[in-house]
Each structure stands twice: as structure tokens, then as C-alpha cells.
């Protein structure tokens, strides 16, 4: 019984101090981080939260998203849950469909002369097959950007 009372007292103390002190709350509860901003992956935040690109893509697919251009923001809450704010209207973006799933990839509509960086999702318009180095992440691998059907 004494152990239960101590646990309840510590929980209340943490709750009360978290309510009064924002810094204490961040240390004990964690903080909200944006994993996607305006259709682009935020690798610094992802690294800090130990999230891979594939994990972010899987979370978005589970919520019904098939390309990053449909995502304005994706937050990882302090609890570990994800909150997604849709882009309105949706824009061209990097596909979230795995590269081995040819059936679904064929069904996606490609934006003309528009490419998405395979690393961060940055979108660039270009008449060339490969636009060159990405201005956001310096990577050079591109895929055709897809648009909502």
C-alpha cells in the first residue's frame, strides 16, 4: 500500500510541476516535432526522434496518404502519436508507394515536367529527366512527382 501511495504522489508531483514549468514538462514528457513541412521531410527532427523515412511513409500510408504533396504538416506528438495536417489544395509530391509495388505505382498520375527528390521530397519543375542537385538536401536522385487522382 505504501508503494502505491508513493507512486501516486510522484505522478501528481510530476503533473503539477509540468503544469507550472514548461521546461520541466519538455524534459519529462518530450516535445512535439514536425517530421514533414509543406511536403518535405525534416531530417533533423527525424534524426532526433530516431525515425526513418520508411517509418514516416508507413504512418502516412496508414492514414490514407499516397504522396507527400498532400501533407502540409506531420507532427510527432510527445506521446509518440502522429498528427497530420493535410495540404489544401494538394500539390505534386514524392510518392509514398514502395518501389516494388508496380500495380499501385502505375495507377498514380505523374505531374508533367515535375520531379520530387527521393531523399527529402522537395519538388522542382524541370524539362530534364534529372533536375540535378536538390536545393534542400544536396542529393541527386529524383522521381516523377505524382498528383492526386
What per-residue confidence (pLDDT) applies to 13? 73
pLDDT value at residue 29: 58
| CATH (domain of 74) | 3.30.240.20
Domain count, the chain: 3
15-29, 56-70, 78-92, 118-132: range with lowest mean pLDDT: 15-29
Nearest-angstrom CA–CA distance, 13 and 7: 10
High-pLDDT (> 70) share of the chain, %: 87
Are residues 77 and 32 located together in one domain of the fold?
A: yes
Q: Residue 40's beta-bridge partner residues?
A: 37
* Containing structural domain, residue 135: 102-147
Nearest residue to 84 via CA among 69, 97, 71: 71
Nearest to 144 by CA among 106, 117, 119: 117
Higher pLDDT, 63 or 31: 63
Q: What is the pLDDT of residue 2?
A: 76
Same domain flag for 39 and 17? no
pTM (predicted TM-score)? 0.77
Digit-coded pLDDT (tens) for 46-71: 999 899 999 999 999 999 999 999 99
pLDDT at residue 18 in the model: 63
**If you average pLDDT over every residue of the chain, what do you get?**
87
Q: Check whether residue 18 and residue 32 sit in a common domain.
A: no
Q: Is residue 92 part of a domain?
A: no
Residue 31 has pLDDT above 90, yes or no: no
Q: How large is the average pLDDT for residues 89-116?
A: 91
Amino acid at each position: 500500500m505504501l508503494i502505491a501511495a508513493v507512486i501516486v504522489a510522484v505522478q501528481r508531483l510530476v503533473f503539477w510541476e509540468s503544469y507550472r514549468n514548461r521546461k520541466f514538462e519538455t524534459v519529462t514528457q518530450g516535445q512535439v516535432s514536425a517530421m514533414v513541412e509543406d511536403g518535405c521531410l525534416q531530417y533533423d527532427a527525424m534524426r532526433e526522434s530516431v525515425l526513418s523515412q520508411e517509418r514516416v511513409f508507413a504512418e502516412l500510408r496508414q492514414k490514407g496518404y499516397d504522396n507527400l504533396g498532400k501533407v502540409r504538416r506531420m507532427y510527432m506528438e510527445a506521446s509518440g502519436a502522429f498528427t497530420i495536417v493535410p495540404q489544401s489544395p494538394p500539390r505534386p509530391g514524392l510518392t509514398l508507394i514502395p518501389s516494388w509495388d508496380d500495380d499501385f505505382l502505375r495507377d498514380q498520375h505523374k505531374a508533367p515536367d515535375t520531379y520530387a527528390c527521393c531523399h527529402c521530397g522537395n519538388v522542382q519543375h524541370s524539362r530534364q529527366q534529372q533536375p540535378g542537385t536538390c536545393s534542400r538536401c544536396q542529393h541527386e536522385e529524383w522521381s516523377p512527382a505524382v498528383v492526386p487522382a
